[in-house]
Amino acid sequence: MPTTATAAKNAKGAGKAAAYTELLARLRAGATLGAAGSVLSWDQETRMPPKAAEHRAEQLSMIARLVHERMTDPALGELIEKCEADASLTGDPVESANLREIRRDYDRARKLPTELVSEMSETNSRAMEAWKAARKKSDFSMFLPWLEKQVALNLRKAECYGAPAGGELYDALMEDYEPGMTAKQVDAVFTPLRAALAPMIEQVAGARKKPDNAVNTVKAPLDRQIEFNKLIAARVGYDFDAGELAVSTHPFSSSIGIGDVRMTTRYAEDHIPEAVSTTLHESGHSLYEQGLPREERFGQPLAEAVSLGIHESQSRLWENQVGRSPEFWTWALPEANRIFDGAFKKFTPDDVSAAMNAVKPWFIRVESDEATYNLHIMLRFDFERALIRGDMKPKDLPGAWNERMKKDLGLDVPDDARGCLQDVHWSMGSIGYFPTYTLGTLYAAQMWETIRKAIPDLDQRQAKGDFAPLLAWLRENVHAHGRRFTAPELCERLTGNPLSHKPFMSYMEAKLAPIYGL
């Protein structure tokens, strides 16, 4: 069992720093209990029978409480202080980063009363069940009391954390998902992005040339599709001995514990390339988690993801930059024809790529294209910020939603199931999470520029189904560091520039031009 021994081995000057060894062992224990909670959540999402929901909420709440109690134990604070006084640690660039983040997490956790943590956990399980039922019936009124409760709980949480100087309460919530990023900073990136996206979407809408959607009408049985998607996930580097690719209505990745990073995808009888997108997206998340140094540092910040934005950059990069490219399909199409008995013979890699890059405003965020997707995010960002500011009431959400969808995307939302009830996030109490999706999209595009320069034969390698150089670059430059650098630091370090919408726009324009004859 690699507990104290390994922790000690990883702490430079471990002989002196018994406090550090003890600190890391405690973090590992807390994270191990957290891993148990992750198994419960995975089970809840993938198999749990309906009548178990109530008791599952109680189980998860209990584990959340126990983890929180451990992570806020004053003895932990004393150990951190001792370590902060130890020059052998603070002088080490790696361990000092670990310590900096341990301090951050501890101080932050101490601000939340255990009662609140336990109540939030229990509310999340229940609100999620209520949301499922409400969405099924497209009945917002069934979800409204839970949304109100989640907003109220988030307000309490934000007040416990406190707004940063010159900032707003929403910033305190976003800090859970994208540390150091404020609503103002998000605005500063989203505003020019919107300004650049709108004319591009308009231009595409008016284009005479359109991609042919025929590739999305090819049908294939489920078992063959599973085979195809598993082949792809394994090929890009996902380790099936340390995970699985299951099926769920809402695909997700779950980083459970050491050697255990699972993911789900979803299949339709047709739309075979879209299932591949989903699988590559979740593979991107899982490759990041499988690439973190968990064996050595489980429970430590250096074995954790930087932020959800950086996490999403990994999923987007594999889904979009890789998976929607003609190069990827140069390798994947022959495989598809082998598995699907030649069903894709009449299509070229360019055909598939073009169909997968069609821009088409749509009700559902997760089914939207790379361009309009960001408008869905901006809507949610604005609304959740307004809910926390008190500028919007939960009961007014459906009306505001439908109005904004009309304005931004020109769509008449047919019902709340396809409108404001479509996403699970708010039911899970996650407010401040949505902007990280578009941040991830932008991070991915910006990294991709760098990667193309770093791996000159990237296209040729991809066309042969050789994704090893790409994964190696991500492992070395992103995954291996854990939380050593913050997201903005990492971005500058990798790309030489702060985050901008420009690389994303250049990438989109370059690929849409031939497809739409722009």
* Residues of the shown chain interacting with a copy of itself in the complex, contacts defined by CB under 8 A: 1, 3, 29, 32-33, 35-37, 39-40, 42-43, 47-59, 62-63, 66, 122, 239-244, 256-260, 262, 298
Q: Which residues on neighbouring strands pair with residue 264, listed in sequence order?
A: 246
- Smallest gap from residue 242 Cβ to a copy of itself (A): 4
Closest C-alpha among 465, 46, 463, 471 to residue 231: 465
From residue 515, how far is each of 350, 352, 359, 518 by CA, in Å?
9, 11, 10, 8
CB of 244 to a copy of itself, least distance (A): 6
| Catalytic choice (22, 175, 178, 282) | 282
Q: What is the 3-state secondary structure (H, E, C) of 307-343?
A: CHHHHHHHHHHHHHHHCCCHHHHHHHHHHHHHHCCCC
Position 415, amino acid:
D
Contact 72/110 with Cβ under 8 angstroms? yes
- Nearest CA among 100, 246, 122, 242 for reference residue 180: 100
Q: Is 282 a catalytic residue?
A: yes
With beta carbons less than 8 A apart as the criterion, state whether 314 and 288 touch.
yes
Please answer whether residues 275 and 229 qualify as being in contact, where contact means their C-beta atoms are separated by less than 8 angstroms: yes
Task: Give the span between the Cα atoms of 2 and 196, in whole angstroms.
Answer: 51
- Amino acid identity of residue 95, one-letter, is E
Tokens of 389: 């500011």
Backbone angles phi, psi at 172, to 5 degrees: -65, -35
Buried/exposed 201-217: b ≥16 CB within 10 Å, e otherwise: beebeeeeeebeeebbe
Which H/E stretch holds residue 260? strand 260-265
State the Cα–Cα distance between residues 121 and 292, nearest whole angstrom.
26
| Sheet with 245-247, side-by-side order of all strands | 245-247, 260-265, 253-257
Specify the amino acid at residue 435.
P
17-29 burial: b if 16+ Cβ within 10 Å, else e: bebbbbbbbbbbe
- Residue 223: CB partners within 8 Å, gap ≥ 6? none
Phi and psi for 474 in degrees, rounded to 5? -65, -40
Residues with active-site annotation: 282
